[in-house]
Structure 1
Amino acid sequence: MSKYLLNKFLFTVDRDPELVERYREDPAATVRWWEETQANRLLNCPEVESSTWLEFDDAEREALASHDYPALFELGAHPFLTLTLFIAVFERDHPPLGFQLEYARRLARFGLPYPDIAT
């Protein structure tokens, strides 16, 4: 499991409106494409710089592919990154602040201490 990779996915997809739409429409294919082509690219570096070892485990891949943000939170994804991406994906399907309230409702079962978000 790599909290770093989960957070990197959330961060990079959220910053690209085309990727947000792609992730909304076909999350499994987007996760697969991102893992194959983007996961090992270093952030803020030329494309020629990359690593070779990063990949999602099955639980991470399934949570991302099913838009399961409570599972992502439980796996240690940063709640701010999760919230901002899923606002971009789902806010249009809810009344004003409706998605944020849904997010809070679905994460209400988590009490302190929250899952560790350190990477």
Structure 2
Amino acid sequence: MSRYLVDKFLYTVDRDPELVERYREDPRGTVAWWESERANDLLNCHSGEASTWLRFADDERDALSTHDYVRLFELGAHPFLTLTLFIAMFERDYEEPLGFQKQYAERLSGFTLPYPDIAT
């Protein structure tokens, strides 16, 4: 598993409003496109350099493709990265203030310390 690559996906998608909308509407297609076109770009590198070996594991790809943030947490994705991206995608679907954040907290409430390791 590559927590780095999952966190990189969450980080880069969250910073691009068009990608946020694309991921909301077509998660499977966005994950496949990002993995083939962007996964190997170096973060904060503007010189066109890239690596060639980064790929999602099947369970990571499945969790990202279904917006399964609970499974992403289990896999070690950084909770702040998942929370901020999923707020951007789904907070608008709730009438109650902080509606999505409350759902996020409730769905993760079954976890006890120690939490999954989020070190990369």
Answer yes or no: same fold by TM over 0.5. Answer: yes
Secondary structure of 2:67's counterpart equals coil
2:119 maps to which residue? 118
Q: State the TM-score, normalizing by the size of structure 1.
A: 0.98
Distance 1:48 1:106 in 2: 40
2:45 maps to which residue? 45
- Percentage identity across paired residues of the two chains: 73
Q: How many residues align?
A: 119
5+ residue gaps, structure 1 = none
Structure 1 consecutive aligned stretches of length 4 or more whose deviation exceeds 6 Å:
none
1:77 maps to which residue? 77
Distance 1:47 1:33 in 2: 21
Distance 1:82 1:30 in 2: 16
One-letter code of the match for 2:104?
Y
Q: How does 1:29-44 map to 2 (within 5 A)?
A: 29-44=29-44
One-letter code of the match for 1:118?
A
5+ residue gaps, structure 2 = none
Q: How does 1:12-23 map to 2 (within 5 A)?
A: 12-23=12-23
Distance 1:3 1:17 in 2: 23
**Cα offset for 1:44?**
1.0
